[in-house]
Structure 1
Amino acid sequence: MCITVHSCVTDAPHISQAPVLMLRPRAWNMVEHNMMLGLPLGSIKATVLIENVLAAFEMEEILYELREHSAGLNCGIWDYSASFINKFGLRQAFLLPDRSKYVNMEKRFLRSYMELLVQTCHRRGALATGGMAALLLPEDRDAHRTAMAAVSRLKLMEIQAGVDGFMVYDLGLIEPMQKLFQLHTEGDNQLHQLLEDVTVTPDDLLSMPSGGVTLYGLKYNIAVGVLFVNAWLSGKGHFFYRGQVEDSATAEISRSQVWQWIRHQTQLEDDSRVVSRRLVTDLSRHSDRDKRRLLTAADMFLEVVLKRDFPEFITTYLNQDHTFLSSQNIGQVEAIGGEKPRPKL
């Protein structure tokens, strides 16, 4: 089916622009495995992460494509937010402000997305799940209490919106979050919450939050992007930073925002400077980092955010880019004690 979409159908949209077309081969694959293993229909199921703004307009169709093999839909904040820059980032009207200060699930475009997802799922008897709580619980008692209160407040908002569950990274959050669910819900899920009084319009889904860019937010995005590339070079898909687990989703929104802010010469709230190629380069390289791989990661991050054309996915870019392959070759040479060539940047 993917080959047909790519090669044979006239004027067919690219796979990345047609979420439903991507699902068809996967749905048939599950049907075939069901039959091969002799399992009852619908034994193999999948949850679809709605992490693309275009997919938000096709959730009914996505559920229909999977039907008996659907385990529901999931909504998360960062990949979905990054998709606005991916699809509409060249337009000033879709400038996404500092995520550390102005972007959260309480904002209109994200709240509407979650409400529509819950409404769509429950109308079809499918489960709707929220995003992951990425916070790591600190050992200090006061800090632990503060962190728990913050997570509980955000997850309670999702529960009240009708979600049937969500993910946590820190295992210490499982019991408190289960108790939170039990306290505010009845039964194993909230499928009875049909949200019939909720109306979500295209304007709601495409309404960008107001706000600017802070120097802190710029530095934070740069740090997350560089450290993710560094982790990727080490064969890891996540790392810990400032009390949270960071992964490809936060790396996507971080590098996307830096790229967009450079593109639109966005002015910082802190002073009169604008986010420029020079400023981002200086901030990326201005540190006491002395590890060679981290320096390579900083250069690779700059490659991504300084490009004229927006790279579709950071992980795809890293895997296909020559710098990544050069770095891997260095690691192999180091392992056998050979001479280390300088990677091409």
Structure 2
Amino acid sequence: MEVLAPPSGLEAEYAALFTTQSLHFLHELISTFGDQVDQILLRRASRKANLDLSGELPDFLKSSAHIRTDPAWKVLPVSQRLQRRHVDIGDLAPCDTERFIKALQSTAQGIQVDFDDGNCPTFYNQIKGISNVIKAVDNLIPNVPLISESPVLMLRPRAWNMVEHNMMVEGKEAPGPLFDFGLLMFHCGKTLFEHQSGPFFYLSKVESFLEARLWNKIFVWTQQKLGLPLGSIKATVLIENVLAAFEMEEILYELREHSAGLNCGIWDYAASFVNKFGHRKAFLLPDRSKYVNMEKRFLQSYMDLLVQTCHRRGALATGGMAALLLPQDVHGDSYMKVLDTVTRLKLLEINAGMDGFMVYDLNLIEPMQELFRLHTVGENQLCRLREDVSVTPHDLLSMPVGGVTLYGLKHNIAVGIQFIKAWLSGKGHFFYRGQVEDSATAEISRSQVWQWIRHRTRLEENNTVVNRQLVKDLTEELLVELGPLCLSISAKRKLHTAADMFLEVVLKRHFPEFITSYLNQDHTFLSSQDPRRVEDQEQLIPQSKL
């Protein structure tokens, strides 16, 4: 096993993480399951190829019908600390120490400790983030509650598609999720269990019950190695892929001893339609800013089926994250407008039977908890079995009606480019027009631009064709608009690099499966994280040139 030298300034944290014992554990974990992770990715590629070649559409699996029709099985009940999780804080990259501490001090029921969508996986960020989690678990952070009294930590390792460049095991880069999960479990698992506060996880980008089965094998192996009882680990699976929507019961079944439920994630889920069927004109996804929301049939069906599936099996169903940010002026009209919008959208989830959801803005925690108090009774809504729901494959695959607007095209370009710029700066999210944007919104943004170019979609306003030249022209306009906001030569350079990379992604003939995979493997990202190449950081651009 080889591990890169510690990032500058984190020598002590690095030494504490990578002990002889933890390295031995990681080596065993990755050696045991690394090839199976590779098989997962190969199986995904094969499944996509079969869909493309056959022209078929997904359906509920005939081979596992006996699981769906058997009313007897349930998931094991979760611990008391998970029974009431009305409002979690989402997209919290734990390398952001200040925000992590504020979250631990908050009244939220849980924290999505995010090494995935809201996090940029530089080696510095991974080491800093995992170290901060360990300090929180060991009660080494001043002025925060004990881990048994603070919001529960819902640890979210990277998805299967991500690798850790800084660790080699048997000649291969370590799978990102095994690196994150292994270190978190080795250093925190027993302590969390002893304090009845975990270990709890979110599992990202799961596409099939076979992937859930692999996670279950990993959980069983890890519990045995660390001397924890079977079922100690609990995990919420994010259903953020259309193929996974057809296998929700099977996913719960595979994880029935370790399940904390399922979660809805609107933008990754919507982007997966482009990922799997984007070259088919019947699956043209209209402007998300105007026509795509949880009130549309394909998303409402997905949410209703998720709640019904979970509650039928005794599992908790949780919703996505409110990305809007409350303005600072609590007396202003814009404050009430944002609060009313979040309230309306989250009330849809509560009325659907959701047991909880996430917010990004910590100031939304208490208003949303009050929303649950007003509209629900008890710790959760497990008693709502949603027997009124009968979702068909046609419901799940029904594309919303609508077109493409110039505003929507510009917005998607802006989100995609600024996300890449944030990533090149070592950040996994940024703020734009009153809300937080992360890899999920970057995925749907670049997916829509790629698809609209592919199908030469016309703009609603003037019937202009969305083609390569139009997207290039709008990108140039955006650079002119954002250029003055870049206060250093380095920032300006990163903006232009990000624009070039965005264009490369959306102009490719074949759709790159994940923007994070593209960025994580790209030499520009890798070189930008090399401390020897940190240049121009202090060279401010003279104001006369802004």
Same fold (TM over 0.5): yes
Structure 1 pair 331/175, CA: closer, same or farther in 2 (3 Å)? Answer: farther
Residue equivalent to 1:341: none
Contact persistence 2:212–2:255 (CA under 8 A): yes
CA distance in 2 between counterparts of 1:267 and 1:195 reads 40
Alignment partners' CA distance in 1, 2:438 and 2:39: 34
The CA deviation at 1:325 is: 3.4
Where does residue 208 of structure 1 map in the other structure? 399
User: What residue number does 2:277 align with?
Assistant: 88
Specify the SS of the correspondent of 2:236. Answer: strand
- State the Cα distance separating 1:207 from its structure 2 match: 0.3
Q: CA deviation at 1:254?
A: 0.1
Query: Residue in 1 aligned with 2:297?
Result: 108
Aligned partner of 1:316 among 514, 517, 540: 517
The 1:88/1:230 distance shift into structure 2, 3 A limit, reads same
Q: Distance in 2 between matches of 1:254 and 1:101?
A: 13
Aligned to 2:501: 300
Unaligned runs of 5+ in 2: 1-32, 49-206, 485-491, 539-546
Report whether the alignment pairs 1:20 with 2:209: yes
Cross-structure match for 2:462? 271
Match of 2:384 in 1: 193
C-alpha change, 1:260 and 1:7, in structure 2 (3 Å) is closer
SS of equivalent residue, structure 2 residue 436: strand
Relative to structure 1, is the Cα distance of residues 336 and 82 closer, same or farther in structure 2, using a 3 angstrom cutoff?
A: closer
Partner of 1:128: 317
Describe the shift of the 1:329–1:13 C-alpha distance in structure 2 as closer, same or farther (beyond 3 A): closer
- Matched residues, percent identical? 72
- Can you list the C-alpha shifts for 1:168-208, whole angstroms capped at 9, x where unaligned? 00011111111101111111100000011110000100000
- Preserved contact between residue 5 and residue 12 of structure 1 (Cα < 8 Å): no
Q: 1:39 aligns with which of 217, 228, 252?
A: 228
Q: 1:204 to 1:182 in 2, by over 3 A?
A: same
> 1:208-227 alignment to 2 at 5 Å?
208-227=399-418
Give the direction of change, closer, same or farther, for the CA distance of 1:281–1:335 in structure 2 (3 Å limit).
closer
- Structure 2 CA distance for aligned equivalents of residues 78 and 38 of structure 1: 38
Are residues 1:118 and 2:297 paired?
Answer: no
Please name the residue that 1:174 is paired with.
365
**Structure-1 residue corresponding to 2:153:** none
What's the TM-score once normalised by structure 2's chain length? Answer: 0.59
Return the alpha-carbon distance in structure 2 between the equivalents of residues 5 and 48 of structure 1. Answer: 17
Is the contact between residue 27 and residue 65 of structure 1 (CA under 8 Å) also seen in structure 2? yes
Q: 1:63·1:70 contact (CA, 8 Å) conserved in 2?
A: yes
- Structure 2 residue aligned with 1:281: 472
Distance in structure 2 (CA, Å) of the matches to 1:270 and 1:95: 18
Aligned residues between the structures:
336
Contact map agreement 1:53 1:83 (CA 8 A) in 2: yes
Aligned to 2:35: 3
Decide whether aligned partners of structure 1 residues 15 and 46 sit closer, same or farther in structure 2, where only a CA change above 3 A counts. farther
Q: Which residue of 2 aligns with 1:67?
A: 256
Deviation at 1:332, TM superposition (A): 1.5
**1:199-241 deviation per Cα after TM superposition (whole angstroms, max 9, x unaligned):** 0000100000000000000000000000000000011100000
Aligned-partner residue type, residue 176 of structure 1: P
Contact 1:46 1:70 in 2 (8 A): yes
Give the secondary-structure state (helix, strand or coil) at the position aligned to 1:334: coil
Unaligned runs of 5+ in 1: 338-345
User: Paired residue for 1:52?
Assistant: 241
Please list the CA deviations of residues 50-98 of structure 1 after superposition, one character each: whole Å capped at 9, or x if unmatched: 0000000000110011111111000011000000000000011000000
Tell whether the 8 Å contact from 2:453 to 2:468 is kept in structure 1 after alignment.
yes
Q: CA deviation at 1:14?
A: 3.9
Give the deviation of 1:129 after TM superposition. 0.2
Query: 1:15 and 1:68, CA in 2 relative to 1: closer, same or farther beyond 3 A?
Result: farther
Q: Name 1:340's counterpart in structure 2.
A: none
Give the aligned partner of residue 341 of structure 2: 150
Change (3 A) 1:330 1:278: farther
- Residue 154 of structure 1 aligns with an amino acid whose one-letter code is L
Indicate if the aligned counterparts of 2:426 and 2:529 stay in contact, CA closer than 8 A.
no
**1:79 aligned onto 2:265:** no
Decide whether the 8 Å contact of 1:2 with 1:22 is kept in 2: no
Structure-2 change in CA distance of 1:280 and 1:118 (3 Å): same
Code of the residue aligned with 2:515 in structure 1: it is I
SS at match of 1:125: coil
**1:239 pairs with one of 419, 422, 430:** 430
CA drift at 1:7: 6.2
Instruction: Compute the TM-score of the two structures, normalised by the length of structure 1.
Output: 0.92
Conserved? CA contact 1:2–1:25, under 8 Å: no
SS of 1:47 mapped into structure 2: strand
Question: Aligned-pair distance for 1:35?
Answer: 2.7
**Cα gap change, 1:104/1:21 in structure 2, threshold over 3 Å: closer, same or farther?**
same
Counterparts of 1:7 and 1:270, CA distance in 2 = 46
Measured in 2, the distance between the counterparts of 1:319 and 1:262 equals 25
1:114·1:161 contact (CA, 8 Å) conserved in 2?
yes
Tell me which moved more, 42-51 or 110-119.
42-51
Alpha-carbon shift at residue 24 of structure 1 (Å): 2.2
Q: CA deviation at 1:321?
A: 2.1
